[in-house]
Structure formats: C-alpha cells, structure tokens
A and B are shown apart, each in its own frame.
Chain A
C-alpha cells in the first residue's frame, strides 16, 4: 500500500515517532513517504495514497508550529473527497488542552470531505506508555482497515 506519514511537530517528538512508524511499516513491506506538514499543501494530497497524520499540541491547545501553515491553507476549503486518513495525537494529560492539536487536524480534514479511518488515537506524555507502543498498533489498524475495504 502507498502510505504517506505526515507530522506536525514543535519539539521534534512527533517527528521521531514518525521515523519509528516509517521503519516498522517499511519492514512490513509498505511503500512509505514521510513529510513534515510544513512542507505540504492540502492540494498536493493524493487520494491514491493513505495518510497517517501524527500531530502534537502546543501552548494553550494550539497546533504545533510545523502544522500551522497547513492549517492556514486548509481555510481555502480544498476538496479532499475520497482522501483516506488516520490521526494519531501526542499530548500531555497534565494540561486540560490535552490533544486539542490532533483534534483540530482531524476536524479540518473531515470538514474538507476526507474520510477518517478508525478513531483518532492519542498518547499521553505523562502516562507510562511509550508513544510508539500505542502508535504502531494504531498505524497497523488503519492500514488493515483500508485493506479490508
């Protein structure tokens, strides 16, 4: 399956997680591209690919810096009908704005007509799980769901 991993990051944690997801999925035989959301325009998204979006939250529930230009471009209401994506969020439950960043990305993609594949999964930095232990099963579930369609 042709898969693109997109990340929105502020401190680099989401980027590192995506490197892990990429390595695991490549080992499983998938063809993976990985891009920073800051380098992606919504109109570049390709409905032939499956998108795995990994996004953190920063400040008072805001998007991380690298996702902001993408969110800005989403205001032009691109038509993303037929686009399939999954969302994984990184956050910290110490703060009441837990994972609002990944939620915003999910809502704007759905709002543009894209289809969310399985529910958004989140990781809590203050919890005891490693992010990759939660994210790898999520990525596999998203791809298995698309495959089963």
Chain B
C-alpha cells in the first residue's frame, strides 16, 4: 500500500487527499495539522457570516469518514516531526500548509497597525491568535481583495446581522460594542483593477446601519464597477463607509507611538487620512514554520507542484496567496493525478508510514477526536449561532479525549 502524508488539513490539503483517494482508494493518506482541529482556512479564514461557503467541509468530512484518510492534529512540522523524517516514512509528502503570515507594509509600523490575518484569526477564535486589539471608531482598511471587504463588512454589522454565524460571544461583543464612526477602504490601484469579487461588494448593499460613498468617478462597464455603483449612495444608517481608490500608501503618522493617520499619494498630490487604526489586508506570506522560499526556489517544476523527489506543494503554499478555494481545488485535483503517476513509476519497496515516526498517540488528535470537539461546539452553540468554537488548545485537547457517556 502506498502512503502519502499531507501537511495541512485546510482546503488544499483536503482536496489533495480527496483526489488521491478517488484515484487510488486503497492508498493510505495521512493528513497532519499543527492545530488539534482540521479545515484551516475554512475554519479560521472564511468569514463567520459566510456559513454557506463553509459548507465545503461536508466534502472534507467524507474524505475522512468514507474515503479512509486519517487526520492527525496537534502535530507541528519541524517540532514533532521533521520533513526528512516524513520523506523517509512516506512515498510522497505534500506541503499544503497555506500562508498564514500577514504581508507587511514597507514602512515603519506603530500601535494600531493590525494585519488582517491576525485580526480575523482573533475574531474567529484561532487558539494562537493574540487578544482582539483596540481599534477606536475611525478605521482605515488598506487593500482591495476579498479579505479587506470581509473586514469592512464585519465592522459595519450590528448584533442581529450576525444571526446564524459562528461568531463567538467575545468577538460579537468586540464588533458590536465599539462606536464605529468611519470605515475607509483604500486601494492602491484604480477601482476597475480592484481584486474583490463583485458579489462581495453587492453583499454590502444589505448592511442595515451604513451610509456608503464611493470616492472616485466610476464610469466603465466592468462588473466590479457596476457593483460599486449599485452600493454608492446607500444610506441605511450611521456608520460611514468610504471607498477610495488610486492611493499609494507612503507612511503613517503617529503620536506617542500610536497611529493617527495614513499618508497616501494620489495623482493630485499627497494627503493624510486620519484614523485610530489601520488594518492592512495586502496579502499573505509564509509564517516561517517551514523554509518555503528555499523549497520553492529549488523546486523541480513549481507550476506542477513538484518540489523534489516524492515532495510536493499544494494550494497557497505553492502558488502564493492567490486564488479562491475553487481554483485551489482544481490545482489540488491535478496535483493528485500527478502524484499517482510519479509514485506508480517508482518501483521502490514500500515505505513504512507513520509507525516509524515515533509520534506520541496521546498527543495527537484523530478524526474521532475532532468529531468530539465538533459535537461539543455545535451542541453548545450560543443562541442565534450555529457553532461556538473552542478557542484554546488545552480545551480542544480535553474535548477530543473526552468520551461522552451514551445515555
């Protein structure tokens, strides 16, 4: 039996496992994650009020419950096991660890400058996230991708607009108790080059307590511009939302180590946009748990996800922080086909698999353990929520090993 290890149980890792097991149902596919829980970006990156998108985990559940993949959570590459050990133990190793680090600005930072990934992880109960920051009432969001729009929408929503989500009581309190007066979303390029999906812009038209203004003239037939025109002038309430394009960030202004404004350059000259907080949503990078740059640089065929003999890369880890879950699915399924082809050409004797890694079973969370966590989170959900997540590793590990008595 051929054995494959996948590092990262996010969407790209799960789709790679799905593809492999569709092609070769008898292979052993082990999916590792550094967290005790699976699904990565779907759990901690897809917005809490986009539960429809999160439905994709129903496919991933089957990868583990029907297709026979095994999940091993709470295993950190480079700490509990090395990449070399994995490559010795498995016929193929797929790195699908994602890109969790926030790309930073190329100028000095200060208190009140917050990365979008750091903020959303804190909002979505990631166990390693720092506390939710103080952002005041006047917030600038820098970036024109879907992540920037997610943050804008979350900050603009009121209590009842989170009904049906899995937003925690703590995050709900944080989002709805602050007195947001102004939300300004700034793009470096002109409006027609903005990267967000038009459907994300149209969704803002449902907000119940905002007044929206789009700063720049919006002629042109692009779908994104049409969407912007459809929300320009919307007035349902008090939170001011301003879309501002074609502004190159040049630096920040500070007082006592805290941000007070963002300096930008436009075609008309320079200006400063005052703010209490600046949220940067300008892309993601590796968080340095693996030396991704070196692996990518020495890759045999990076476009195919082939890094070295028996070593592959999938998803954002391979392609950079671009592409939706659907695009990464296409990539992962193609990678699975490639892996099958490569490995079946290799007639070496079979690898030993996980048994030789010396991992402690007591420290790992299996899929069954995750099912216990999942059961707890959904049955203990607060009112008007579909789930209330456990947000510490200790409690996750506790729930994973707690076998409920059957009445």
Report which A residues bind B (CB closer than 8 A).
10-13, 16, 58-61, 65, 92-97, 124-126
Contacts and interface: CB of A to CB of B under 8 A. Distances in A.
B203 A95 contact: yes
Residue of B56, B205, B227, B326 most packed against chain A (CB within 10 A): B326
A16 B202 contact: no
14 contacts: A11-B59, A12-B56, A13-B59, A59-B197, A59-B198, A59-B199, A60-B198, A65-B326, A65-B330, A93-B52, A95-B199, A96-B205, A125-B53, A126-B164
A99 B300 CA distance: 42
A94 B50 contact: yes
B114 interface: no
B72 interface: no
A10 B198 contact: no
Contacts of B325: 11
B71 interface: no
Contacts of A58: 326
Residue of B56, B58, B227 most packed against chain A (CB within 10 A): B58
B138 to A, nearest CB: 28
A92 B52 contact: yes
B58 A13 contact: yes
B59 A94 contact: no
A96 B200 CA distance: 10
B52 A126 contact: yes
Residue of B49, B55, B198, B329 most packed against chain A (CB within 10 A): B55
Given A58-B326, A60-B197, A60-B198, A11 B203 contact: no
Nearest to B205: A96
A92 B47 CA distance: 14
B223 interface: yes
B223 to A, nearest CB: 6
Given A16-B58, A59-B199, A65-B330, 4 more contacts: A12-B56, A12-B329, A92-B52, A125-B53
Contacts of B15: 12
A16 B62 contact: yes
Contacts of A12: 15, 18, 56, 59, 329
Interface in B178-206: 197-199, 202-203, 205
Interface of B: 15, 18, 49-53, 55-56, 58-59, 62, 164, 197-199, 202-203, 205, 223, 227, 325-326, 329-330
A60 B52 contact: no
Nearest to A124: B52
Contacts of B330: 65
Contact of B202 (A13, A65, A95): A95
A93 B55 CA distance: 13
B329 A11 contact: yes
A68 B52 CA distance: 22
The 4 A-B pairs of least Cβ separation, nearest first, read A125-B52, A92-B52, A126-B52, A10-B326
A94 B203 contact: yes
A125 B55 contact: yes
Nearest to A94: B52
B305 to A, nearest CB: 19
Contacts of B53: 92, 125
Contacts of B203: 94-95
Nearest to A93: B52
Contacts of A61: 199
Contacts of B59: 11-13, 16
A149 to B, nearest CB: 35
B202 A96 contact: yes
Contacts of B329: 11-12
A143 B120 CA distance: 47
A17 to B, nearest CB: 9
Contacts of A60: 197-199, 202, 223, 227
Nearest to A61: B199
A124 B52 CA distance: 8
Nearest to A19: B62
Nearest to B328: A11
Nearest to B19: A12
